[in-house]
């Protein structure tokens, strides 16, 4: 069936198809695969023990800890927001709904540097709240809270924008049925809504987490690059690279590249689950 | 009809969830963004123009928008080919190739930056042969463009791909059976139907490239007036505690991006209206 469907419509001569295939493969190999290969090639160039040594080095470890910490705060917050916002925006129809959805997407339209800049304008020593923060001895910029805030900003839309269209499409008949049969709001959410959205939710969390761990521009503006204290993994890779310590820089980068590959694999898995559900 | 804020609904929790949504949105997104515009208004128009028309700032704008534009054009061309390949051509392992397209989304930008620099630097895998041929890539605008191609590609592929998938093959059959050549069928029937999505993909790639920092900053060389992108100049100003200058450059970028996206939106509605008229 499939092949007959493909034969319908345009049937370019073999030479054209071969050319398109060749261009695609060469372009992707040169632009996407080669940089990936280079990361691992450079990271392991001086052997696996040097690589391991660069990973378990004190500053690299503290960068890893900070990266995990930031993601562990930012992702749950945005996950919770995503669920709550999609309940309000997908299950109910009200005036101004689509405007709020547009506002949620705003952080995607703001460039990474500007995403960091806005928090410096708010909390930096010459910023709005700067004098008050200094007086009360609270540090946000060039400290962990600033990094967490900037990360929350750039990863803000990921979960919500996966869930809102999904839940809008699913409608609320099943929830209404549950409520009419005597379930309370919580039971309805846990037994009806959550199982229905779990794959979309997982998809959003995967993307949110990848961005939270890998964000560079926004975090770089607010971090202050204090070694062993406010360096996340991407910032640590930058510092090592700028000090011409290439092997160590690529060792740290290889961790992040590995994370990206896991993200792609998970995404692939979740997407095929979603496709399977749709064809059922 | 009486105006009602909200349609009647038996589901509970509307007030609570909407309230939390607005509160969190306000604190994390809207308040910080408001800081940018309010700080900008401190400058006034005269101060704003003064910063923007500084020679070094102008040079960085020209470089950023120029390279982003070229990268988006190259992405539109190759992105269309890649998307066509992914939808229409049978090839072993195509699902694997399909998922690799998202690599630039998943790979942290700093990692992209140092990897591309290693590839294209004067003693890199591609940089060395190109240098022998007389082309310097890293630390020139060409290098910046390459980094922008890398990060922009998935935007074009992922917007054009569904458009090709949804093409009605019957229309192609009709054109072919009425005697149109393969090439004519493509240029007169298929391409106009893909064009709106291609323009969207172009705009997304272009906008992303303008604001890009991590993947560009390593390969750029960062020479003032020559290879210094606007995002980097914002950081330079911030490091000198020149908040107003940094804000002005950021607002200038936002303004120019909005203007360009507005033009592109007009182009897009023109091309899709043209389609509806047929």
ipTM of the complex: 0.89
A181 touches chain B (CB under 8 A): no
**Cα A110 from chain centroid?**
15
SS3 of residue B91 by DSSP: coil
**Same structural domain for residues A24 and A106?**
no
Residue A204 sits in a domain whose CATH number is 1.10.3720.10
Domain extents in chain B? 57-277
* Facing residue for A92 by CB, picked from B9, B29, B241: B9
Encode pLDDT of A175-228 as tens digits. 999 999 988 889 999 999 999 999 999 999 999 999 999 999 999 999 988 888
Identify the closest residue of chain B to A180 by CA–CA distance.
B10
pLDDT of residue B161: 95
Query: Is there a contact between B107 and A36 if contact means CB atoms under 8 Å apart?
Result: yes
Cβ contact B25–A149 (<8 Å): no
How many other C-beta atoms lie within 10 A of the C-beta of residue A5?
A: 9
Question: Which pLDDT band, with edges at 50, 70 and 90, does B101 fall under?
Answer: very high
Where in the sequence is the domain holding A11, given as residue range(s)? 1-43
Burial (0-12, 13-18, 19+ Cβ within 10 Å), B153: buried
A169 and A215 assigned to the same domain = yes
Nearest Cα of chain A lies from the Cα of B222 at a distance, in angstroms, of: 13
Cβ–Cβ contact A111 with B under 8 A: yes
CB A95 to CB B88 under 8 A? Answer: no
Can you tell me the distance from the alpha carbon of A163 to that of B244, in angstroms, rounded to the nearest whole number? 38
- Band (A2; pLDDT cuts 50, 70, 90): very low
Is residue A74 located within the same domain as residue A21?
Answer: no
Nearest-CB residue to B10 (from A176, A216, A267):
A176
Distance CA B106, CA A260 (A): 5
The alpha carbon of residue A137 is apart from the nearest alpha carbon of chain B, in Å, by 20
pLDDT confidence band for A127 (50 / 70 / 90) = confident
Contacts of B243 in chain A (CB under 8 A): 120-121, 124, 126-127
Q: What's the CA gap between B112 and B99, in Å, rounded?
A: 17
Instruction: Report CB contact under 8 Å: B213, A216.
Output: yes
Question: pLDDT (tens digit, 9 = 90+) per residue, A147-160?
Answer: 999 999 999 999 99
Rg, chain A, Cα only: 23
Model pLDDT, residue B22: 95
Q: Which residues of B touch A215 (CB under 8 A)?
A: 108
**Chain B: closest CA distance from residue A155 (Å):** 11
Across residues A252-264, what is the average pLDDT? 95
How many percent of chain A have pLDDT more than 90? 75
pLDDT at A3: 40
My answer on whether A164 and A245 are in the same domain is: yes
Angle at B245 (CA atoms; ends B243, B247), nearest 5 degrees = 65
Q: What pLDDT is attached to residue A9?
A: 64
Q: Which two tokens stand for residue A234?
A: 């991407």
Query: Position of tokens 């309370």?
Result: A184
CB contact under 8 A, B111 and A39: yes
pLDDT of residue A150: 96
Structural Rg of chain B based on CA atoms: 23
> From CA B194, how far away is CA A24, in angstroms rounded?
18
CB contact under 8 A, B33 and A118: yes
Shared domain for A31 and A87, answered yes or no, is: no
Give the number of beta-carbon pairs within 8 Å between A and B.
282
Provide the pLDDT for residue A4.
40
How far is the C-alpha of B256 from the C-alpha of B58, rounded, in Å?
A: 12
Instruction: Show residues of chain B in contact with A113, CB under 8 Å.
Output: 211, 213, 231, 234-235, 250
Nearest to A24 among B12, B82, B231 (CB): B82
Q: How far apart are CA B71 and CA B109, in angstroms?
A: 17
Burial of B92 (0-12, 13-18, 19+ CB in 10 A): exposed
Q: What would the pLDDT profile of A52-97 be if each residue is shown by its tens digit?
A: 999 999 999 999 999 999 999 999 999 999 999 999 999 998 888 9
Cα separation of B200 and B156, whole Å? 8
- Among A95, A117, A176, beta carbon nearest to B246: A117
Residue B256: what pLDDT? Answer: 83
Structural tokens at position A103: 């506002």
Q: Are residues A31 and A141 in the same domain?
A: no
Q: pLDDT tens-digit profile of A45-61?
A: 999 999 999 999 999 99
> Are B243 and A221 within 8 A, CB to CB?
no
Long-range Cβ contacts of A180-188 (<8 Å, 24+ apart) = A180/B10, A185/B11, A185/B12, A185/B13, A188/B11
pLDDT at B278: 55
A104 in contact with chain B, both atoms CB, cutoff 8 A: yes
Q: State how far residue B8 is from chain A, nearest Cα, in angstroms.
A: 9
Min Cα separation A235/chain B (Å): 8
Q: What is the average per-residue pLDDT within B263-269?
A: 80
What pLDDT score does B215 carry? 93
Per residue in B107-145, pLDDT (tens digit) is 999 999 999 999 999 988 999 999 999 999 989 999 999
User: Which range among A88-92, A225-229, B59-63, B90-94 shows the weakest confidence by mean pLDDT?
Assistant: A225-229
Q: Give the per-residue pLDDT at A162.
A: 92
Cβ within 8 Å of B, A 58-77: none
The DSSP code sequence of A7-76 is HSS----HHHHHHHHHHHHHHHIIIIIHHHHHHHHHHTTT-HHHHHHHHSSHHHHHHHHHHHHHHHHHHH
Q: How many CA atoms lie within 13 A of B63 on its CB side?
A: 29
A87 CB within 8 Å of a chain B CB: yes
Tokens of A141: 């910029």
Does residue A14 share a domain with residue A62? no
A35 contacts chain B (CB < 8 A): yes
Spatial separation of the C-alpha atoms in residues B272 and B125, rounded to whole Å: 43
Q: Is A145 on the interface with B (CB under 8 A)?
A: no
* A1 pLDDT higher than 70: no
Q: Are residues A25 and A78 in the same domain?
A: no
Does position B1 have pLDDT exceeding 60, yes or no? no
Q: Which pLDDT score, from 0 to 100, does residue B237 have?
A: 92
Confidence at B6, pLDDT banded by 50, 70, 90: confident
Bigger pLDDT: B182 vs A22: A22
Minimum CA–CA partner of B173 in chain A: A9
Q: Which residues of A touch B82 (CB under 8 A)?
A: 24, 27-28
Pairwise CB contact (< 8 Å): B115 & A213: no
User: How much is the pLDDT for B263?
Assistant: 84
Is CATH 3.30.200.20 the classification given to domain B57-277?
Answer: no
Number of structural domains found in chain A? 2
Q: What are phi and psi of B212, to 5 degrees?
A: -65, 140
Q: Which two tokens stand for residue B151?
A: 């990060």
Q: Answer yes or no: is pLDDT of B222 > 90.
A: no
Cβ(B248)–Cβ(B43) below 8 Å: yes
CB contact under 8 A, A91 and B11: yes
Written as six digits, the tokens of B53 are 């028309």
- Please say if the pLDDT value at position A263 is more than 70: yes
* pLDDT tens readout for residues A224-248: 888 888 999 999 999 999 999 999 9
Per-residue pLDDT at B172: 85
The overall average pLDDT reported for chain B is 90
pTM across the whole model: 0.90
């Amino acid at each position: 069936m499939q092949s007959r469907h493909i034969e319908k419509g345009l049937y370019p001569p073999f030479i054209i198809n071969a050319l398109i295939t060749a261009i695609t493969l060469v372009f992707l190999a040169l632009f996407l695969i080669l940089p990936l290969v280079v990361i691992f090639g450079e990271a392991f160039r001086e052997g696996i023990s040097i690589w391991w040594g660069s990973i378990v080095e004190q500053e690299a470890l503290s960068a890893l800890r900070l990266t995990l910490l930031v993601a562990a705060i930012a992702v749950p917050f945005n996950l919770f927001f995503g669920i709550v916002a999609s309940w309000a925006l997908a299950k109910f129809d009200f005036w101004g709904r689509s405007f709020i959805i547009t506002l949620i997407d705003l952080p995607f339209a703001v460039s990474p540097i500007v995403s960091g800049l806005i928090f410096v304008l708010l909390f930096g020593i010459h910023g709005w709240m700067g004098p008050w923060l200094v007086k009360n001895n609270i540090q946000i910029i060039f400290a962990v809270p600033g990094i967490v805030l900037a990360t929350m900003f750039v990863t803000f839309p990921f979960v919500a924008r996966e869930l809102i269209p999904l839940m809008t499409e699913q409608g609320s008949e099943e929830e209404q049925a549950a409520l009419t049969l005597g379930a309370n709001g919580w039971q309805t959410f846990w037994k009806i809504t959550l199982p229905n959205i779990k794959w979309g939710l997982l998809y959003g969390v995967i993307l949110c987490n990848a961005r939270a761990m890998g964000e560079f521009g926004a975090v770089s503006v607010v971090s202050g690059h204090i070694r062993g204290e406010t360096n996340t993994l991407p910032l640590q890779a930058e510092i090592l690279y700028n000090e011409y310590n290439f092997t160590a820089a690529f060792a740290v980068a290889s961790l992040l590249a590995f994370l990206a590959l896991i993200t792609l694999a998970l995404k692939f898995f979740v997407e095929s689950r979603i496709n399977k559900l749709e064809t059922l | 009809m009486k105006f009602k804020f909200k349609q009647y609904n038996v589901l509970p929790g509307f007030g609570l969830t909407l309230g939390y949504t607005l509160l969190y949105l306000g604190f994390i997104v809207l308040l910080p963004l408001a800081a940018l515009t309010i700080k900008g208004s401190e400058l006034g128009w005269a101060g704003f123009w003064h910063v923007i028309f500084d020679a070094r700032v102008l040079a960085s704008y020209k470089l950023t928008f120029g390279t982003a534009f070229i990268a988006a054009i190259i992405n539109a061309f190759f992105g269309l080919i890649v998307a066509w390949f992914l939808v229409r051509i049978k090839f072993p392992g195509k699902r694997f190739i399909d998922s690799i397209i998202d690599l630039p989304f998943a790979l942290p930008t700093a990692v992209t930056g140092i990897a591309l620099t290693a590839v294209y630097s004067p003693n890199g895998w591609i940089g060395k042969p190109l240098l022998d041929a007389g082309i310097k890539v890293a630390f020139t605008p060409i290098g910046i463009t390459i980094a922008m191609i890398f990060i922009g590609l998935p935007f074009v592929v992922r917007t054009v791909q569904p458009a090709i998938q949804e093409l009605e093959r019957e229309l192609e059959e009709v054109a072919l059976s009425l005697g149109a050549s393969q090439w004519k069928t493509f240029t007169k029937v298929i391409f106009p139907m893909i064009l709106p999505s291609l323009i969207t993909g172009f705009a997304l790639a272009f906008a992303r490239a303008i604001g890009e920092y991590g993947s560009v900053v390593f390969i750029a060389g960062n020479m003032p007036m020559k290879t210094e992108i606007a995002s980097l100049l914002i950081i330079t100003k911030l490091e000198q505690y020149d908040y107003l200058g940094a804000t002005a450059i950021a607002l200038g970028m936002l303004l120019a991006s909005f203007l360009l996206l507005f033009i592109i939106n007009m182009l897009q509605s023109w091309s899709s209206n043209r389609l509806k008229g047929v």
